[in-house]
Amino acid sequence: MHKAQNRGKKIILASASERRKEILGLTGLRFSVEESGVEETMHAGMPPQRLARLLSRQKATAVAERRKGKDALIIAADTFIVIDGRYIGKANDAAEARAMLRALSGRRHIVVTGYSVMDCLTGKLISAACETKVWFRRLDHGEIEGYIKTGEPIGKAGAYAIQGLGSIFVRKMEGDFFNVVGLPLGQLATTLKKFGVSPFKA
């Protein structure tokens, strides 16, 4: 496995998400994980990309405050779904998962991920957002209930995991796959280069 180039800078992923940890791990970059502790609040009426950037920035800032003056780079992200102008976050229980899956059944929705990269030493901050369109086929009652019983929908934006069993519901997708999982890796890698960090050695 290749060794990525951190240039001596400590990288911290401000997320408890196993999916984001796995995605960032694909780069070979050495990093630690530190949950931000920020409560995600959906601000109705705020444009989706702006909201996604705001939420990720709040997470990055919270962790950066604990590392002020240190040579560390914080990466934070937030993912949610937009359908009919409504914002849908994570499913906390079976009832929420059921309502979300019924809403997405046979429809197109947009997955929005905002991410922020912040240098604790210089205060430099870059925030960006990525959108992916996903079309679900029509789901019947048995499929929804069976999927909920697997436990996979809980804690997932929109109550499904496209990298898991939830992929069987997807009819078509337009955009970045990793964005739907929770972290647009290609776009993030471009941003990291602006901080002198690359998955590849020079």
Q: Which of the residues are catalytic?
A: 78
> Among 192, 194, 149, which Cα is nearest to 28's?
192
CB neighbour class for 186 (10 Å; exposed up to 12, middle 13-18, buried from 19):
exposed
- The strand pairing partners of 110, in sequence order, are 82, 133
- C-alpha angle 181-3-192 in degrees, rounded to nearest 5: 55
Q: Rounded to 5 degrees, what are φ and ψ at 99?
A: -65, -40
What is the longest distance spanned by two Cα atoms in the chain? 54
40 and 92 Cβ atoms separated by less than 8 Å: no
| Tokens describing residue 101 | 């899956």
Alpha-carbon span 29 to 185, nearest angstrom: 12
